[in-house]
Amino acid sequence: MKCYNKRHKRPKTRSSGGRPPKSLNRPSHETPTVVIGDDEQLQEQPQKPKTGASVFWTKCDDCNVAYLYNRTMLGERIHCRHCLKSFIAVEATSLSPHIDKYIRLGSATSPHHGIVTGIDSASSPHQQRDKQDQNCSTHSMAFVKFESVNRERKKACNEREQENMNEKDTVVAGAESPSTSVPVTTNSLADSDFSGDNSLFRQGIWLLIRGFKDKLQSADVKQLDDLLLCGGMILRTISDLGLPDPGIGVLLENLKLQAAEIIKHCSDISCLKEVHVSCADKVNRSCLQLSDMQVSMASLGEQVVGLTESISRTRKSWFELIAKEEAIRKTRIKVDGDLACKEKQLLACQKSIAEATDAWKEMEERHSKTKELMAKAQKDLQSAIEMLTESEAKWKRLCEEAVKEEALL
């Protein structure tokens, strides 16, 4: 069933010679809108170029099939091509997710047409495989049917040309008997005899577009070349017939852009992989350096522990000397010898501390924790030296007091 907008008249075309009408090859300001519904019909409506703000989506109240119209049709009664019922054209607030998916794929870039389907994208792997096989078979059937229809049309056009030539010869030869002449009316033949051929061609073109669309919905990145080849064949077929492009060219351009973006993403991913490998090598080298630093820090820690133990022993000895202050006067000579020995030990400790301090300065930038321990050890040593100085002063006072007592005695 054919439905046309009441505001537009159907253009008449000539079919002599099997060539497309001249009006289709001329640049025109009118662009046909192709609407494909579930009734499997391809319909053409000549409309003026429209933008996204001058069109609206509406859907049938009974079967929920969506249609795209000019905003001049808002509030008008429209005849549904699917359920054959009438409904009021009201702008639809929410559409099927499949329509939104199609609009994102390519229909949004060409607002002059829209395709409405009811295919469910959520399917099992077996269903997807069956759908791919069905798409391939549908595409093959479309090409076979189109070729057969094209041959029949060419044959009919050749026969009609021969009949027209015979009729013209009859008119010229029998001018004196006008009752036997038959006038040639190509327009009436085009309108009446080729109506069936036009519907068959529309069905063939619809099958081509439907197969391409189904293949596009179930395709992956690896099938971009096949999609571009298939779309180019469909576009050339439509161009050979002199029909306007229903948006296949824009869709192919989008597919080419997507292929270029995918190639760019693949190159970016390879570059990122190389960067990742180099970063991993740097991290491994850093881990090795860190392990070496940890070993050196462990050796320095052992040295610090040894120095701390020696300092603790020295402090213990000095505490014992303080406890034995009462016996110092009786063992003065022995204490002098012990004091000399302790001074030698102190010099050795100072020398070892100086060496440790030099080593500490070299590793100060890398090991802050070891530096803090060494500073603490040095502070403890200074306190021990101060205690030793105080002990020496006290010892001198005791010696002076002993000398005075001996002098008094």
Of the candidates 213, 37, 52, the residue with the CA atom closest to the CA atom of residue 116: 37
Residues constituting the chain? 409
- Alpha carbons 223 and 178: distance in angstroms, whole number: 65
Q: Please answer whether residues 93 and 115 qualify as being in contact, where contact means their C-beta atoms are separated by less than 8 angstroms.
A: no
DSSP string covering 288-340: HHHHHHHHHHHHHHHHHHHHHHHHHHHHHHHHHHHHTGGGTTTTHHHHHHHHH
Write out residues in the chain with pLDDT < 50, as ranges. 1-51, 96-126, 128, 132, 135-136, 138-139, 142, 168-197
Backbone angles phi and psi of 218, in degrees to 5: -105, 15
pTM over the 0.75 mark: no
Q: Give residues with Cβ within 8 angstroms of 106, minimum separation 6.
A: 247, 250, 251, 254
Which amino acid is residue 11, in one-letter code? P
- Residue 38 confidence (pLDDT): 36
Which amino acid is residue 273, in one-letter code? K
Q: At what angle do helices 195-217 and 125-173 cross, to 10 degrees?
A: 160
Cα 195 to chain centroid, rounded: 48
Q: Please answer whether residues 353 and 381 qualify as being in contact, where contact means their C-beta atoms are separated by less than 8 angstroms.
A: yes
Of the candidates 392, 384, 365, the residue with the CA atom closest to the CA atom of residue 307: 384
Of the candidates 392, 408, 255, the residue with the CA atom closest to the CA atom of residue 318: 392
- Residue 249 confidence (pLDDT): 76
- Residue 147 confidence (pLDDT): 59
- Residue 154 confidence (pLDDT): 66
- Alpha carbons 32 and 50: distance in angstroms, whole number: 11
- Alpha carbons 334 and 263: distance in angstroms, whole number: 93
Neighbours of 14 (CB within 10 A): 14
What's the angle, vertex CA 40, arms to CA 197 and CA 132, rounded to 5?
A: 115
Neighbours of 168 (CB within 10 A): 13
- The H or E element that residue 229 is part of is helix 224-240
* Residue ranges covered by each domain of the chain: 16-174+186-246, 280-408
- Residue 366 confidence (pLDDT): 72
- Residue 165 confidence (pLDDT): 62
